[in-house]
Structure 1
Amino acid sequence: MGALVGELGRPAYLRLADALRAEIVSGDRAPGARIPSIAELCRDHGLSEQPVRQALRVLTAEGLIEGRPGSGTYVRVRPVRARMARGRYQVTGSPFAAESRARGVDPSWACDSQKTYATASLALRLGISEGDPVMQSQYLFRADSEPAQLSTSWEPMAVVGGTAVVLPEMGPMAGLGVVARMAGIGVTVTRVAEDVAARPVLEIEAGPLGIPLGSTVLAIERTHWAGELAVETADIVLAADRFRLSYEIDIPPYRP
């Protein structure tokens, strides 16, 4: 392939990124195919090393390619998005487990819980004062042993402190989900609120989720309420190219 030509004034690295992107999107470079080395791209496109590296960074940030240490750069294999229903809070037990089994996969998770204190933003979400004690639980959820989602949840110690459910994954109701655990201490969850946004993955999230930097994630801010009392809030993170969120909303009878 000769030197790149393109629209007047467009930087060389963007023209190279455009050309490689077109080959990937069209299927000419199949998922898992190796991208030529930097030296090969320099030679084939008549460019110096710097614009070639810049072009590869652009495509990495777009989630189209990924580097493999000691091996090279490859077209990223994009998984088929799994449907994740966000209306399974009425099931008995863990909503994640119920959703995973409905998709025919085996759920598992690891959890680390510790007492900490509410930041200003967390206090606002929970309706408590900054500095109030909370139980923080950090989860890595897996489906068929593959990373599926990250979750960090916080429950006010004023609600769970001194009870059998203070540690979500220990005690008689371990792993049963927020609704069942709260019911076990006489707290009836009446609603769940979720706010969803898309954003780039953070470096601290990319490794546990098994996705490259530059990938897009779905970030869910979830809060369980018992009437006007917030009993739990959580930040949930999923890879956007692995999952699509599905919501079902009950509509009351129409009354003109």
Structure 2
Amino acid sequence: MPAPRNRFKARLSEGDPQIGLWMGLANAYTAEICAGAGFDWLVVDGEHAPNDLQSMIGQLQALAAFPVSPVVRAPVGETWILKQLLDIGAQSLLVPMVESAAQARALVEAVRYPPRGKRGVGAALARASAFNRIGDYLTTADGEMCLIVQIESVAGLAALKEIAGVEGVDAVFIGPSDLAADMGYLGRPGAPAVKQAVRTAMATLHDLSCPAGLLTADQAFARECLEEGARFVAIGTDVTLFSGAISQLRRQFAGGGDAVKQAPSSGY
């Protein structure tokens, strides 16, 4: 029996646009709520959310019951943590702060087994191999691995073509927030210069036939990027949706406005 099919990677190859959501609440219960909303992919964030391996495992287990593709963002592109994320069952990895082709090649090696890479062979102990019940895991895992490198700096953009051309890089994700800061627009990812840099990167990746993605809460810009050829776009985060809805409810009540309409309750 081979490794599970990576639907996210397959759809990237097919060219289907995939719409996603960022998850930073670090909780399996809220992940299950997000999974039922109909998104194509969901990010389990290990860089800026308070996640550890145990909380990530819980979220992956919750998502497994739904037709949604999990993407796990590593806190950093170090071999030791990538190995652990793969062993807990991540098949699509997003690695932040990639700025050179050499760094991208090192990441490719880190997520693949010898002789193609340097991933440690310990899957018999891991959730990834269904705890050694997937007999062909070691020989089939590489083919279902999806490595997404995140470019979010001026240096990364300068090396974009070289990074995208590294064999084994499956997709490139542009991070507007850190890119904005590096360009001198801290806290302003919607600045015209930043948006133009993202558009240019999307067009370049499209010309290179490299799947491109990004995160933006600006729905008009998200649609524009999809028109430019982006293959996977996250259009919000669970944290901001939750905090925004709670704040709006309180403001509405304080202002005497109509109550927020809610779906019928099935009980408490």
TM over 0.5: no
Q: Select the structure of larger CA radius of gyration.
A: 1
Report TM bin, short chain: under 0.3
The structure with the greater share of residues assigned to helix is: 2
Superposition TM-score, scaled by structure 2 size: 0.25
Of Structure 1 and Structure 2, the greater strand share is in 1
